Amino acid sequence: MSDTDGETLRVVVDTSVWVSAAINPVGPPGKVFDALRHRHFRLVTSEPLLRELAAVLNRRRISARYRLTPESVEQFIALLCRRAEVVAITGEPQGCRDPNDDMLIETARAGNATLLVSRDEDLTRDLDLMAAFNRYEITPLTVRRFLDLLAAE
């Protein structure tokens, strides 16, 4: 999988996608995880995004309902880290109303990612946020559109 310059696609994947992949590996987010495992794209992430993922997966109501152990969460995140480029971010505001969206944009900018995959409609439909993405040449995609893009290559 490559972008127009012949390099591997550099993609930030929102925490909600990874949570869904961890609890339902056969659904569309699980297919994103499979594509990462098979190196169909280069994951760009940051320590704050990884901490957020660990915190969500270790929430009692989630871990109990989906039988996630601390060890299985650690293994899931370790695999992400092995396939990812973890970039440093400062927490600098990026102009979003949601600080978590700022974190995603800053991660994408720091890692020269061109795509952001999310299940969050704010990220894929909010006009102000879309303007910020355009300014930084980042394309937000839904999970389905990202999977379609991968399949087309």
pLDDT of residue 2: 43
According to DSSP, the β-strands at 42-46 and 10-13 are parallel
Distances (CA, A) of 59 to 63, 101, 106, 110, 143: 6, 21, 26, 29, 24
Q: Is 150 exposed, middle or buried (0-12, 13-18, 19+ CB in 10 A)?
A: middle
pLDDT band at 136 (very low <50, low <70, confident <90, very high): confident
pLDDT of residue 122: 67
pTM of the model as a whole: 0.89
Give the separation between CA 93 and CA 97, rounded to whole angstroms: 10
Of 99 and 64, the one with more pLDDT: 64
Element (H, E) at 97: none
- What are the residues whose beta carbons fall under 8 Å from the beta carbon of 78, sequence distance 6 or more? none
CATH number for the region 10-152 comes to 3.40.50.1010
β-partners of residue 67 are: none
According to DSSP, the β-strands at 115-117 and 10-13 are parallel
pLDDT of residue 4: 41
Tell me how far apart the terminal alpha carbons of the chain are, to the nearest angstrom: 6
Give the separation between CA 31 and CA 8, rounded to whole angstroms: 18
CA angle at 117 for the pair 115 and 121, rounded to the nearest 5°: 120
Q: What is the DSSP letter of 26?
A: T
Q: What is the pLDDT of residues 28-58, one digit of tens each?
A: 999 999 999 999 999 999 999 999 999 999 9
